Amino acid sequence: MLDINRILQNPEVLLDTLQKRGFDSKDIESKISEVSSRQRKLKLESEELRAERNKVSKEIGILKAKGEDISSISQSMKSVGDRIKAIEDELASYEESLHDINIGLPNLLDDSVPFGKDEKDNVLVKTFGEKNSFTFPVKPHFEIGEAMGIFDFERGVKLSGARFYTYSGLAAKLERALMNLMLDTHTTENGYREMWVPVLVNDESMTATGQLPKFAEDFYRLEKDGLNLIPTAEVPLTNYYRDEIIADKDLPISMCAHTSCFRREAGSYGKDTRGLVRVHQFQKVELVKFCRPEDSQTEHEKMLSDAESILQKLNLHYRVMLLCSQDMSAASSKTYDIEVWMPGLGRYMEISSVSNFKDYQARRGKIRYKSKEGKNLLIHTLNGSGLAIGRTLAAVIENYQTEDGTFAIPDVLKSYIR
């Protein structure tokens, strides 16, 4: 959610963001203008009526003291009271209307975000390493894994349906090894506190991080229980402090968690139908930060570096892209994507998104901190993948593949394989 007072005072800020994000700004602008205009008129009328009531109340006191008849004035004041109550009810309705509009608005864009319509307009920030050279025809990870008998997509479909899979043997061990490498690195080197969180959350949690109400079709819901399967651990980790006030001395707070994640992948039919790139259930280590507003840009860059550190340990070539205005999530103010090179697929694949939400999620979730001056202020939230484990496994298999149809184990993972 946005600061509605800021939007009303500077509507051009919102309009600029909506246009850059490709939203229909005219309809939203007219709705906000209409509601806020009516609000202002009602508030002015209410203030005038209250002032009149206060004035007449003093007069009634004087008349009563003199023993004079006040019945006609009292009846008049009852009408004023009824009108004030009606205005309050109407104002509450308009407040709700503004809230409904506001909760559907995207976050304001950071000034550094480039304007663009799709991934072609994203900006290259940096690269690490070089693409591997192979002396033999390379294969995609799913062909290697199936030939080795460590991936079984057919049984995944039998058990659950399309875009599900099973691992066995070396693949299962490597998934666990990657998880442990990520958690160990983030907790012992990058300063994160490891958490264990539910994978089922309520609607309030999904609303605070921005999945509801607009993106209900993108995740799985248990209607009978009023719970939702998390699309990422960002949801329970960010909501950990929902409706709370954090002490300034505790900031910044850095948390990480490994969870299963669940996504419908709505709108992705026909894309990456084979392999581990686009599936309904996957494992991920998520990074979340809470910090003071003045520190969020620095913490964003640090989180990006933290996510990169895993790929650097695995010696995998990747690039970092700054996402353009229409290739970002609606909740993010600024996002970097880390894209790892996949020689078997012949393209880069997003393996982590690192986003700064500024106070957008904090306003929705009422997450604040008490400043050194004693004021309760909205905090800034950030999150990023550290990393998507299945995609990392796929990247390892493709980049470390050998001519005999198998693949080597990266040195950093060997101590985790038992």
The pLDDT value given to residue 69: 75
Please give the pLDDT value at position 266. 55
Mark whether 127 and 52 lie in a shared domain.
no
Q: Looking at residue 107, what DSSP letter applies?
A: P
| Whole-number Å distance between alpha carbons of 179 and 184 | 9
Per-residue confidence at 4, pLDDT binned at 50, 70, 90? confident
> Is 62 found in the same domain as 124?
no
Residues 202 and 331 in one domain: yes
Residue 25 C-beta-side C-alpha neighbours within 13 Å: 13
Q: Is 330 marked within a binding site?
A: no
The tokens for 212 are 């509801």
Is residue 396 in some structural domain?
Answer: yes
Report DSSP state, residue 401.
B
Is residue 103 very low, low, confident or very high in pLDDT (cuts 50, 70, 90)?
very high
Checking if the pLDDT of 239 tops 60, the result is yes
pLDDT digits (tens, 9 = 90+) for 160-203: 999 999 999 999 999 999 999 999 999 999 999 999 999 999 99
109 within domain boundaries: no
Annotated binding-site residue? 385 = yes
- Residue in this structure with the two tokens 């998934």, named with its chain if needed: 175
Is 352 annotated in a binding site? The answer is yes
Q: Among the listed ranges 68-72, 117-121, 363-367, 381-385, which one has the minimum average pLDDT value? A: 68-72
**Is position 110 within any domain?**
no
Is residue 69 domain-shared with residue 134, that is, in the same domain?
A: no
Give the percent of the chain with pLDDT over 90.
78
Does the pLDDT value for residue 26 go beyond 80? no
pLDDT per position as a tens digit, 34-60 = 888 888 899 899 999 989 888 888 887
Helix 170-188 × helix 296-313 angle, to 10°: 140
Domain annotation covers residue 300: yes
Q: Is 281 annotated as a binding residue?
A: yes
Annotated binding residue at 308?
Answer: no
DSSP state for residue 333 in the 8-state scheme: S
Per-residue pLDDT, 270: 63
Same domain, 95 and 150: no
> Cα(218)–Cα(262) distance, rounded to whole angstroms?
9
Question: Beta-carbon neighbour count of residue 64 at 10 Å?
Answer: 12
The helix (H) or strand (E) run that includes residue 361 is helix 360-365
CB 352 within 8 A of CB 319: no
Strand partners, 354: 336, 384
212 plus 356 within the same structural domain = yes
* 112 lies in some domain: no
315 and 405 part of one domain: yes
- The average pLDDT across 360-387 equals 97
Do 139 and 35 share a domain, yes or no? Answer: no
Asked if the structure places residue 241 within a domain, the reply is yes
Q: Is the pLDDT of residue 227 over 70?
A: yes
Whether residue 106 has a cis bond before it, omega within 30° of 0: no
DSSP strands (E only) in 292-394:
318-322, 334-342, 347-358, 368-370, 376-378, 380-388
pLDDT at site 271? 67
Residue 233 marked ligand-binding: yes
**Count: domains in the chain:** 2
pLDDT mean over 129-133: 96
Token pair, residue 111, equals: 């000034």
| Residue that finishes a domain, picked among 42, 73, 103 | 103
Q: Say if residue 234 carries a ligand binding annotation.
A: yes
Distance CA 86, CA 84 (A): 5
Report the alpha-carbon distance of residue 17 to residue 272 in Å, rounded.
Answer: 31
List Cα–Cα distances, 310 to 9, 227, 391, in angstroms: 44, 33, 13
Position 108 in a domain: no
Cα–Cα distance between 278 and 210 in angstroms, integer? 22
Residue where one domain finishes, among candidates 103, 128, 145: 103
Instruction: Say yes or no: 162 and 88 in one domain.
Output: no
Pick the last residue of a domain from 103, 137, 171: 103
Please indicate if the annotation marks 351 as binding a ligand: yes
58, 138: one domain: no
CATH number of the domain where residue 96 is located = 1.10.287.40
**280 marked among binding-site residues:** yes
Helices (H), ranges, 226-359: 234-238, 296-313
Q: Is 259 part of a structural domain of the chain? A: yes
Count CB atoms within 10 A of the CB of residue 139.
19
* 268 marked among binding-site residues: no
Residues 82 and 170 in one domain: no
What's the rounded Cα separation, in Å, for the pair 211 and 239? 12
Same domain, yes or no, for 18 and 159?
no
DSSP lists the bridge partners of residue 356 as 334, 382
Residue 276 reports pLDDT greater than 80 = yes
Domain that holds residue 205: 119-414
DSSP H/E element including 167: strand 166-167
In this structure, what CATH number is given to the domain that contains residue 192?
3.30.930.10
39 annotated among ligand-binding-site residues: no
